[in-house]
Amino acid sequence: AVFGRNFIARDMGFRNTAGPQKHQAVALMTSADLAVYYKCHIDAYQDTLYVHANRQFYRECNIYGTVDFIFGNSAAVIQNCNIMPKLPMHGQQNTITAQGKTDPNMNTGISIQYCNIAPFGNLSTVQTYLGRPWKNYSTTVYMKSRMEGFINPKGWLPWVGNSAPDTIFYAEFQNVGPGASTKNRVKWKGLKNISIKQANKFSVKDFVQGDRWISASGAPFKANI
């Protein structure tokens, strides 16, 4: 767990070895403001990366998991990373994100940009989704990323029932690859089509003000979308 402001991790590995049978088992939890993870390896099964609070930046990291494996309620930008779902417990579905925004006035969300989303191993028997809404104002965007064909065409999974709260904000912007087609995505009011102007609200510069603090860490970053 990381709490200190301006925390920097480079070329580090964070792993929880509990295995899929242990259910929730976090590898890394960050509550620190202005935290940077550069070229790190973050590996577990369910609930791998807990982006708990404040502003966080992940660059060129490998992130592995199964159920809700990037989750929490920070303002997190995940840029140029490899996001790799693994084989879950028998009968489980993979969900990459579970963002936990509880108040519309919070400037929080998960912004995944310029990432590569590909299976770690053979997931042909597993349904894998981009995310599900942990809380009523869940906010997650995937932008200019590559998605391999293992992503379920519906894209997103409800937390309960057959739909999601109208108050969520989910978006996919200019992604590529066989899993990126939005043609058969769920028809939720909260799943938006966004413009480049709206996309930039989730950029390093506008979303986490990263142009002011990331460079001190030595990590490269792209300020805008």
Query: Would you name the residues annotated as active-site residues?
Result: 68
Angstrom distance (rounded) from CA 219 to CA 184: 37
Distance of CA 112 to the CA centre of its chain: 6
Among the listed residues 124, 107, 225, 138, the one whose alpha carbon sits nearest the alpha carbon of residue 175: 225
* Cβ atoms < 10 Å from Cβ of 185: 16
Counting every residue, how long is the chain? 225
Q: Say which amino acid occupies 43.
A: D
Among the listed residues 92, 29, 94, 86, the one whose alpha carbon sits nearest the alpha carbon of residue 62: 86
Q: Say which amino acid occupies 21.
A: Q
Please state whether beta strands 35-38 and 8-10 pair in parallel, antiparallel, or not at all (unpaired).
parallel
Distance of CA 224 to the CA centre of its chain: 18
Query: Taking CA 175 as the corner, what is the angle to CA 48 and CA 130, rounded to the nearest 5 degrees?
Result: 35
